[in-house]
Structure 1
Amino acid sequence: MYTQSALTADDQRRKRRLRLFGAGAAVLLVVVSAGGWLLLSDRGEDAPAGGRATAAAPDEIRQTVEKIPVSPEGQVVIDHSEEGLPKSSDPAPRYAPGTWATGKVFAKGIADTIVGLKIEPHYDEKAWTLKLDGHICATSDHVTVDGRTAVVVQPGRRKGTSAAGVCDEVVFFDLNTGKKLWQKKMPSADFAYVTNTNLTLTRGVVAVAWGRGSVAYDMKNGRQLWNGTTVSKCEDKGFAGGRVLLALESCGGSPDTTYEVQKLDPRTGRTEWTYKVAGGVQDVYLPSSDPPVLAVAAGDSLVTDLITLDRRGRHLATISVNGHYDPKCGDRYFGAGYFGEVEHCDGMVVGENQVYVASKETGEIDQPENWIMAFDRRTGKTVRKFDGRPMEPVVPLRMSGDRLLVYRQSYSDIEPSAVVTWDARTDQETPFLLFHLPDDEDGNLSDPERSDIVVEQGRVFFAKRELTADGKWHKAQAAIGLGSAGLAH
């Protein structure tokens, strides 16, 4: 799926990471917290987006609050294998970006196709298949309340042409039916590749950025709302969506690149406030838009600090994660930037009051494999720790209301793996689902750097991001989903 243009960009990114790897974090907490802000909005300090709780509109981004199942005993509801795959010795795997679920359908992107599977015990029945014009280039984890999402596609073009590797097509579709709702060609996207294209969703809007340009569409009909392809000293590197829309701006050229984070009006693209990140930062990620949190690599290629802002874009706290914690920002696909990385920090979750970050694994047999630390978002101080167990690492997944969903992996044949909820205020842990994954696939499926782990409406789904054939059958398990044996279907 990759042309020379995309591969060259990938190679440059890898070389850059190698050069920076091992460099001392010379720019530490003092420098990181020295960023400034420019207020252009009169919105209240900490009023959550949308004000008081009301019924969510269909085009809002869902934030599902999970109910504890009748029984935590898990049963298989999805067991999907993909056929016709390259051999494991083939250096080019089949990429499978994008994993989503609703109450009825589990959906998986695989190469140039999205398949929808019925969520039913002991079945592997396709509900629908959506064939795309080319390979998927970017996906978003965000899904609307009524079950819609989007992908960016690299349309099939003749090899050797200048446009062969360009990712310039947006497809908006319904997860429950597999119906393509609209499809649009991105304007002036000649330099949009699988290595630099980022896609997100916010209420009523689909937004895409690729460094040299950006564009936003109305979810309702695909009408273009605005685009940012004009010449500027700063470029739209990516967006973070959800309840609000943040833009990550990179300004100037390497090695003197600086960064800004802007809150945008999603309907107009107008800037409401700007936070200027201090100099000396190598990379920035946006793991949360509301409340706004930045993950920055200061003087290193890996994330060293988390910066929390209030809802006016003013600095609240800087949390040092260098050395002890592993937020896993940009770790997918060896940091090559494939399929969008600005929002993806698989070792951390942001709640309304706390920021949860997984520690690095200890490797000590008689000690917890790792732990999750809850930091106060306003002060940056530690609040409470959730310990893993010996040989049982824990991964923060997402918020469910004011509780954190945690995956705890077990290597034991007797003790099951589990998804639990954790209340950092009371330190209360509640079992959600208990299950075993297939022994020969557990390592791949449980690794957040290699697989998507999605909890939605009482089920947990594990889905690989790369597929290669194992053995002579040219097929491999692509995804497995577990639901409660006591959950009514």
Structure 2
Amino acid sequence: MTQPPPPPNQPPQPPPGYGYPQGGPNPYAQQPPYGPPGYGYPQQPQPAYPTPVPPQPPTPKGKLNAQAVIIVSAVAAIALIIGAGVWYSSSKDGQADAKGGDRNSTAGTTEGTGGSGGSGGTDKAPANTASKVLFQLPEPVVGADENSTTVVGSWLTDVVYAKSGRAEIVGYDPAKGTRLWTVPLPGPVCAASRHTTADHRTAIVYEPAMPTKDKPSHGCSQVAAIDLDAGKKLWTRTVKSGDQVINLDNVTISANTVAVGSTSGGGAFDITGKSLWGPKPTDSCYDAGYGGGEKLVAVRKCGTYGARQLNIQTIDPVSGKVLSEYAMAKGIEDASIVSTNPLVVASDINRSAGDGSGISDFFSIDNRTGRLRTKISAPGDRYAAECEGITRIEYCNKLAVGNDRLYLPTEDHDGTGEYSRTNEIVAFDLATGKQDGQRAEAGDGYSISPLTMDDGNVIAYKRPPYDKGGQIVSIDGGSFAQTKLMENPATKAVREVEAGMQPEYAELIYADGRLYMSQVYARKPSSTGETRYLAIAYGTK
């Protein structure tokens, strides 16, 4: 199991052993697939990451800091509640970064609008960038027969912040955190679409029953559509290969189509529940998964391990007809969809990244013709983005695409202060594959990661040094000038919660002056009695 990244301003640590990532673990890479028993998959979900370590102040030169487990005492919890401000501002009518009403990119994969970028992002700096804690949601209680449970999935609309809990989806007031509605489920959520329809409907995959001691997994066979504004489950369906109900690995939405993929093939439904297509038992190839948003793109796999052929197909979301296709070099086993418009795919060729990130190269592909525009080399020891393309086809973190550019964070390196670390965001031209020469610096002690695009500008999160709160900044797509949009409280209790919800292993949504950070796993209570949170929300005045 990989370890979270070392806290900023901590003295240099010895390098990890071979095969361990230099950045934090990808939570989705750690999520166990829910394949049928006997297929080599774990039968009990395991924690996506160890208990995160809050940043610690530097010690005198020559001494190493001891890493401490986050312990938020009852006093700290009360301090959080007392210090929580209540702030509300009506949402703008812009709503979407990607077309179709989608404003839910939880980890930096939202497509941009094209063009050259520049000024005029919809998120403007407030008069006071200091944020307050709007609310925090307690972590759900894990069952007696579980070590942990998946709580993947979070969405934001004009009227609700929705978050997966233990076998449920719950809608909360986006400013106050009061519960608005609950959609109960018979089993845990396995996967969740990062996209929504224009009228705020999304999709999830879940188990048909709760785990028990005798049967810790029931398989992820159920796909459902959720109306986020109304708080209703619209329908539940299964996908069959012949007469066999199959287990599903991923789910996405494009236009009004819900698409699901797996090692047994893919299927799709209209948002009304009408079946559009499914796998055929006679197929020698299968749709391992799909990328959604502005377009629908399939990763179609053919052949056996070691002689794999991957085809990246842009498909019609209604008929499933292949509109264009790019054949990757034979032998590439896995690929992740970073963006569907422009089309960008990531892959770890021959597992050469060496850091567990799932990325050695990016492929910029023409959606219309299926031709390769350019290939971008992104060595794992230089860049800190992460993808998990084995089963979670669309789960990439710490990167963004817009202005016909790919924005990546560099790996952390020494800063100017004693023991300090820092990094930058750089941009690659998707037509030429070359860096444009601009760099957005995190600043000493900070580490910066792209989250999403906002009308041609990059919205990024800055992981703070030990004595500061995190920041949200907007990076101008033309000049690369930074504008601070938010700075979180620097109090110890708040910092500790924030440190446990970093982009490497959590879901982050920023919009309209609010930041929502949430877990993807809930765990059994520890013997230390620590208070843990499912989500925390910040807002500026």
TM range (shorter): 0.7 to 0.9
Are 1:212 and 1:229, in contact at CA under 8 Å, matched by a contact in 2? no
2:387 to 320, 329, 339: 329
Determine if the alignment matches structure 1 residue 9 to structure 2 residue 36: no
* C-alpha distance 131-361 of structure 1, shift in aligned 2 (>3 A): same
Are 1:373 and 1:382, in contact at CA under 8 Å, matched by a contact in 2? yes
1:133 shift after superposition:
2.3
Are 1:66 and 1:456, in contact at CA under 8 Å, matched by a contact in 2? no
1:158 shift after superposition:
9.2
Structure 1 residue aligned with 2:185: 132
Structure 2 residue aligned with 1:462: 517
Structure 2 residue aligned with 1:380: 433
1:254 shift after superposition:
0.8
* C-alpha distance 228-459 of structure 1, shift in aligned 2 (>3 A): same
* C-alpha distance 9-59 of structure 1, shift in aligned 2 (>3 A): farther
Structure 2, unpaired ranges of 5+ = 1-31, 44-93, 105-120, 353-357
1:97 to 147, 152, 160: 152
* C-alpha distance 444-286 of structure 1, shift in aligned 2 (>3 A): same
- Between 346-355 and 66-75, report the one with greater CA deviation: 66-75
2:361 to 301, 305, 311: 305
1:243 to 286, 294, 297: 294
Q: How many residues align?
A: 428
Give a deviation string over 1:84-138, Cα, whole Å, max 9, x none: 3479xx9822321101112222111123111111123xx4421111101222121
* C-alpha distance 247-456 of structure 1, shift in aligned 2 (>3 A): same
Determine if the alignment matches structure 1 residue 484 to structure 2 residue 540: yes
1:185 to 238, 244, 253: 238
TM-score by length of 1: 0.80
* C-alpha distance 55-149 of structure 1, shift in aligned 2 (>3 A): closer
What code does the residue aligned with 1:203 have?
Answer: A
Structure 2: how far apart are the matches of 1:428 and 1:267? 41
Q: Tell me, what secondary structure is at the counterpart of 1:440?
A: helix
Structure 2: how far apart are the matches of 1:311 and 1:472? 52
Are 2:514 and 2:540, in contact at CA under 8 Å, matched by a contact in 1? yes
* C-alpha distance 148-4 of structure 1, shift in aligned 2 (>3 A): closer
Determine if the alignment matches structure 1 residue 265 to structure 2 residue 316: yes
1:290 to 328, 336, 341: 341
Are 2:103 and 2:195, in contact at CA under 8 Å, matched by a contact in 1? no
1:433 shift after superposition:
1.3
Are 2:203 and 2:224, in contact at CA under 8 Å, matched by a contact in 1? yes
Give a deviation string over 1:251-307, Cα, whole Å, max 9, x none: 111122121101111100111111000123232111111110110111116311101
Determine if the alignment matches structure 1 residue 427 to structure 2 residue 480: yes
1:69 shift after superposition:
5.0
1:405 to 451, 459, 480: 459
Structure 2: how far apart are the matches of 1:128 and 1:408? 32
Structure 2: how far apart are the matches of 1:450 and 1:457? 23
* C-alpha distance 215-8 of structure 1, shift in aligned 2 (>3 A): closer
What code does the residue aligned with 2:532 have?
Answer: A
Are 2:403 and 2:477, in contact at CA under 8 Å, matched by a contact in 1? no
Q: Tell me, what secondary structure is at the counterpart of 1:355?
A: strand
Structure 1, unpaired ranges of 5+ = 13-53
* C-alpha distance 136-416 of structure 1, shift in aligned 2 (>3 A): closer
Q: Tell me, what secondary structure is at the counterpart of 1:390?
A: coil
1:394 to 442, 448, 459: 448
Structure 1: how far apart are the matches of 2:132 and 2:40? 43
RMSD: 3.2
1:208-223 correspondence runs (5 A) = 208-219=260-271, 221-223=272-274
* C-alpha distance 96-157 of structure 1, shift in aligned 2 (>3 A): closer
1:207 to 220, 240, 259: 259
1:298-377 correspondence runs (5 A) = 298-300=349-351, 302-312=358-368, 313-322=370-379, 323-330=381-388, 341-364=392-415, 366=417, 369-377=422-430
* C-alpha distance 290-358 of structure 1, shift in aligned 2 (>3 A): same
Structure 2 residue aligned with 1:114: 169
Q: Tell me, what secondary structure is at the counterpart of 2:500?
A: helix
* C-alpha distance 224-61 of structure 1, shift in aligned 2 (>3 A): farther
Structure 2: how far apart are the matches of 1:467 and 1:160? 18
The structure where strand makes up a greater share of residues is 1
Structure 1: how far apart are the matches of 2:256 and 2:35? 36
What code does the residue aligned with 2:254 have?
Answer: T
What code does the residue aligned with 1:200 have?
Answer: T
1:2 shift after superposition:
8.5
Structure 1 residue aligned with 2:72: none
What code does the residue aligned with 1:411 have?
Answer: P
Structure 2 residue aligned with 1:277: 328
What code does the residue aligned with 2:136 have?
Answer: D
Structure 1: how far apart are the matches of 2:244 and 2:540? 47
Structure 2 residue aligned with 1:156: 209
Structure 2: how far apart are the matches of 1:4 and 1:420? 40
Structure 2: how far apart are the matches of 1:8 and 1:474? 36
Structure 2: how far apart are the matches of 1:452 and 1:444? 11
Structure 1: how far apart are the matches of 2:134 and 2:461? 18
Are 2:410 and 2:424, in contact at CA under 8 Å, matched by a contact in 1? yes
What code does the residue aligned with 1:425 have?
Answer: G
Are 1:61 and 1:243, in contact at CA under 8 Å, matched by a contact in 2? no
Give a deviation string over 1:330-351, Cα, whole Å, max 9, x none: 1xxxx8x6xx621111021111
Structure 1: how far apart are the matches of 2:262 and 2:245? 7
Are 2:103 and 2:157, in contact at CA under 8 Å, matched by a contact in 1? no
Are 2:506 and 2:518, in contact at CA under 8 Å, matched by a contact in 1? yes
Are 2:140 and 2:522, in contact at CA under 8 Å, matched by a contact in 1? no
- Between 342-351 and 73-82, report the one with greater CA deviation: 73-82
Are 2:314 and 2:367, in contact at CA under 8 Å, matched by a contact in 1? no
* C-alpha distance 266-346 of structure 1, shift in aligned 2 (>3 A): same
Structure 2: how far apart are the matches of 1:9 and 1:104? 42
* C-alpha distance 295-450 of structure 1, shift in aligned 2 (>3 A): same
1:237 shift after superposition:
0.5
Structure 2 residue aligned with 1:16: none
